[in-house]
Chain A
């Protein structure tokens, strides 16, 4: 347990010791801030609609969700395997699962900060006299963090499969894109079972229909956690498989 915390802590600190995390944060904040102002203007000053857009209804939100976690996770395993640091971690008295979980928690914390900027907008508009729907806002934030957790798990899995960070990032972005667009494509099908199957992995719908509405439904919660665990499990297996190669 202490090993897992140590790794999570180091990974999180390590993120902010490099330029990538800062760059991504800056870009995300600029984009989100600019769009939030735009949403406010176009919606005629409707704070709730603007916050919904910022936390899940807009293309920009999903673009960030698809792109940022893979960029953060791409180096975490692939580069360490190349530099030998993975050898160091895997010969330290911590399990492979703790290594992967530690890295995952670090990304999750980073994404929580990134998504948390929307909360700042809520505070800002509240201080100006218009209180937002706090339940929906916080629910949306939790949903966004869970979404990014799923995408980060996919990213870690991709990173564990290859020794080239760029390849890992590309593969993860493609996989995330597939995850997000699958429901759209599935909707085109006439077959009922295809629609049903696709609905089981519909990230967009699970986020929008529960969390963004301010509802913390455990089944929706489990949806994200379960898929995240599946990909983390695959990542742990991929790390283990490295020992055999």
Chain B
């Protein structure tokens, strides 16, 4: 449906697109992912015929974008990021204008407009002035305008930018609904957006395509090694524990991350999920497991690596995607153990960041492990290991500094 080959576009000395080639077949939903300024919008503008390419060729639905521009434009529904609509017109008038531009027969106009309004859920707001609509509604109106000619290809540039989370969900749902009837190409710099909607992702950066495939494929292909993290009470013979862990088939390296209270933490580098193996060994050796989790880099981290042009090191698994099993203590019971919030805020310090204010008590809190900040029980103090003592706690959950 869309075929781009060796597309290059320069603005003066800037190469906005550099030898970009890709194909999109009918019915695909493809996400263009890249940081701001990567060339997403330029690529889309070339696809829609708004900008000419410096070199290379683009065909949409079999027509060349440069020489058969009008034919291509007839088949494309394009929603630019700015959602251009005439503010002084009503929603329905805007749709009528679009219907005339696309030469939709007069007889069909009313029913088609009604259908488009229904599709985006704007039927009851059709008499509103476009200028009075909220950002989310405007986005929907823009989508209705793009959908009205029933285009074969739908090109959406940052369709969720500037929307609040609820509106974003709505628009996302709308786009998912569209994928049945249209070939959709959408761009975003927000990864979850793309992951939620698109079955295929093209990552662009600095005008070049860095990766192309389904999100899962990209993760498998680009992620490299995954890690199993073990935190357990292994006794004093750490060396023995290390030896045992190294002996597990599939483990390429074990990283001793040191002692945390009475527990010891290891990180196993491996290609697959070895949690069961580690769990079995822990059970056999009688280690009290505290954490056993498997992390692989998320698409987000791969994206970040590509975008920053950094080395593999940056794609180290983090806690963004923890799949913990095992004997993790229930966080609700001993939950926020540390980081006393009631401490003194430094004079002149920002009040909006109380979590950085460390308690002024005798033993300043030390963050020991930093899980996902949205997890309960985010951090613990080394100075008061939970299992050993804590007699002076007044109320559960209310930490004393």
Contacts and interface: CB of A to CB of B under 8 A. Distances in A.
Contact of B88 (A5, A7, A17, A244): A17
Given A17-B88, A243-B51, A87 B101 contact: no
A134 interface: no
Interface in B68-103: 70, 73-74, 76, 78, 80-86, 88-89, 93, 97-98, 100-103
B369 interface: no
A84 B138 CA distance: 14
A90 interface: yes
B343 interface: no
Contacts of A84: 80-84
Interface in A12-26: 13-14, 17-18
A34 to B, nearest CB: 31
A92 B73 contact: yes
A100 to B, nearest CB: 15
Nearest to B51: A243
Contacts of A18: 88
B45 interface: yes
A91 B49 contact: yes
B299 to A, nearest CB: 30
- Contact residues on A (Cβ < 8 Å of other chain), bracket: 20 to 34
B52 A5 contact: no
B80 A93 contact: no
B76 A91 contact: yes
B50 interface: yes
B48 interface: yes
Interface string A60-96: 0000000000000000000010011111101111110
B128 to A, nearest CB: 14
- Contact residues on B (Cβ < 8 Å of other chain), bracket: 20 to 34
Nearest to B49: A91
A13 B45 CA distance: 28
Contact of A91 (B50, B82, B88, B97): B50
Main secondary structure of the interface of B (DSSP, over half): loop
A75 to B, nearest CB: 11
Interface in A129-164: none
Contact of A92 (B81, B88, B102): B102
Contacts of A3: 100-101, 103
A9 interface: yes
Given A17-B89, A87-B45, A93 B78 contact: no
Contact of A7 (B73, B80, B84, B101): B101
Contacts of B80: 84, 87-88
A22 to B, nearest CB: 13
A94 B100 CA distance: 11
B48 A91 contact: yes
A118 B273 CA distance: 87
Interface of B: 11, 45, 48-52, 70, 73-74, 76, 78, 80-86, 88-89, 93, 97-98, 100-103
29 contacts: A2-B100, A2-B103, A3-B103, A5-B100, A6-B100, A6-B101, A10-B86, A10-B97, A13-B89, A17-B88, A17-B89, A83-B82, A83-B84, A84-B84, A85-B85, A86-B84, A87-B50, A87-B82, A88-B80, A88-B85, A91-B48, A91-B49, A92-B101, A93-B74, A93-B101, A95-B70, A243-B50, A244-B51, A245-B11
Given A17-B88, A86-B84, A95-B70, 15 more contacts: A6-B100, A10-B97, A13-B89, A13-B93, A83-B82, A84-B80, A84-B82, A88-B84, A88-B85, A91-B48, A91-B49, A91-B78, A93-B73, A93-B101, A93-B103
Closest 5 CB pairs of A and B: A6-B100, A84-B82, A84-B84, A17-B88, A88-B84
